[in-house]
Structure 1
Amino acid sequence: MTLKEYRTLFNTSLSELYPKTEIDTFLILLIEEYLGLTRVDLVIKADSKIEDSKLLILNKALERLQKEEPIQYIIGHTEFFGHPFFVNQNTLIPRPETEELVAWIIDEVRNNSNYTNKQISILDIGTGSGCIPISLAKELNNASISAIDVSEKALEIAKKNAIENQVNINFITKDILQTIDLNMQFDIIISNPPYVRNLEKAEINNNVLENEPHLALFVEDNNALIFYDKIADLAKNHLNKNGCLFFEINQYLGKETSTLLKNKAFKNIELKQDIFKNDRMLKATL
């Protein structure tokens, strides 16, 4: 089969499941990964034959796409904040809005006199693939960074990502909801915890709902801020003076999350929207 013929087959097979632009992106990612070809090669090498062994691999990937499995899990990696990250079904796929959170934290460190010209300590709670702490470590030379997750399998991937990106992160296996003491003080505590309510599942695409780890996504409708409540309590005892708490939040619960922090005596509470104008990030200080 030629590349041109396979492109036609690929488009036809997925046309009822995905938009055309997304299908094109999938194909480009797959030919880059398995054939070593580029977007331009789809045109200039359209009549070249695909080896049978490579065709078999491509067809297996196509079958997984037909089952709405995320392309990132199929090829086993993605990009976040310009850096490569391994991902699998034990980790969430990093989102663009989380990149915005990372950018906000970097800006805070570089422009806040409390953090410049000294070594600072940062903790990421619920790290998953490690995308937040690893990206921060790549950008902040003055930061000592630790990261917590309840999932040992997720931390295996996070450790692999730290090695891939040549940074040193202190990874800790810990159930934050059962944690009484963090055993350290920090200048910055960050978390992108589970925050999607079960009632919001209808808004979630099948490729996420059927593949990404529910442990890292969902909370009960009647206790949607359980992680924010717990982490805020820990932060009160383990943030240094003038320390910052950063959260990624449920877009529908910005006011409620802000109120929770205000009731716990946090100050300078700032709610920030993402590029899509959703309430998505929050910063507070003690």
Structure 2
Amino acid sequence: TARADARLLAAHACGVGPDGLDGVSQAPAPPVLEEYVRRREEREPAELIVGHAWFMGQRFELAPGVFVPKPETQEIVEEAINRLSGLLSQGKTSPLVVDLCAGPGTMAVTIARRVPDARVYGIELSQVAAQAARRNARGTAACIVQGDACEAFPEFDGCADLVVTNPPYIPIGLRTSAPEVLNYDPPLALW
């Protein structure tokens, strides 16, 4: 991810989006870029350095203690969008989508933006992450709540058209050696 990280850091230092670097002159790099590079060399995720992540062309605000979206999540979202498109083409109206373990709202918000006919609800246990998800959901129909996924939305039992989740994925007792994950992603999102 070195090239992607460099573009993200440079774009943020120059005050442009990741695609805006092409229009930046060959002027010397802003001094803050050196600080960003130092922090990245210490293995702090580039997304946390700049305070946001780009996912499927959309910007998601992050904060310390919030899971950084991973590229693999795009596969889940693409499959969800394909399944919802199939339901809509079969005449289903307002399909109900529930995102368990919503983190910063990456899946719920993207689905709500890409499939505006869907009713999208997300739940996140972490208060900090739920707040970030609600900020990211502004301007969409996605509804994000803070709470336990095991007890989420009892009113939807048996009637959700699609459930998506990116739950904690490291088995208890195992450790990861990636400092970006181990030192910066919240343990609640990992184990």
Q: TM-score range by the shorter chain?
A: 0.7 to 0.9
**Cα pair distance change 1:106/1:41, threshold 3 Å:** closer
Greater relative contact order (CA < 8 Å, ≥ 6 in sequence):
2
- 1: CA distance, partners of 2:103 / 2:81: 20
Are residue 144 (structure 1) and residue 123 (structure 2) matched? no
Aligned to 2:69: 94
Report the number of matched residues.
186
* Paired position in structure 1 for 2:178: 205
CA RMSD of aligned residues (A): 2.5
- Cα distance in 1 for partners of 2:152, 2:116 equals 30
Match of 1:195 among 153, 160, 169: 169
Distance 1:110 1:28, change over 3 A: closer
Check whether the contact 2:122–2:142 (CA below 8 A) recurs between aligned residues.
yes
1-structure distance, mates of 2:172, 2:71: 22
Hey, what's the Cα distance between the residues in 1 that align with 2:154 and 2:147?
10
- 2:155 partner letter: N
Q: TM-score, with normalisation over the residues of structure 2? A: 0.84
Alignment correspondent of 2:11: 32
What SS does the aligned partner of 2:154 have? coil
Secondary structure, counterpart of 1:88 in structure 2: coil
Name the larger-Rg structure: 1
Provide the C-alpha distance between the structure 2 equivalents of 1:28 and 1:188, rounded to a whole number of angstroms.
35
How much has 1:76 moved relative to structure 2?
0.9
Give, in whole Å, the separation in 1 of the partners of 2:22 and 2:89.
49
> Structure 1: which amino acid aligns with 2:184?
N
SS at match of 1:95: coil
Q: Distance in 2 between matches of 1:118 and 1:181?
A: 20
Deviation for aligned residue 1:119: 1.5
- Maintained 8 Å contact 1:109/1:115: no
- Where does residue 214 of structure 1 map in the other structure? 187
Q: Percent same amino acid at aligned positions?
A: 24
Written as runs of structure 1 = structure 2, the 5 A alignment for 1:15-30 is 22=2, 24-30=3-9
Cα distance, 1:205 vs structure 2: 1.0
- Equivalent position of 1:176 in the other structure: 149
Query: How many Å apart are 1:183 and its aligned residue?
Result: 2.4
Question: CA offset at residue 181 of structure 1?
Answer: 6.4
Q: Aligned letter for 1:104?
A: E
Q: TM-score w.r.t. structure 1 length?
A: 0.58
Is the contact made by 1:76 and 1:86 (CA closer than 8 Å) also made in structure 2? yes
Which consecutive residues of structure 2, in runs of 5 or more, have no partner in the other structure?
A: none
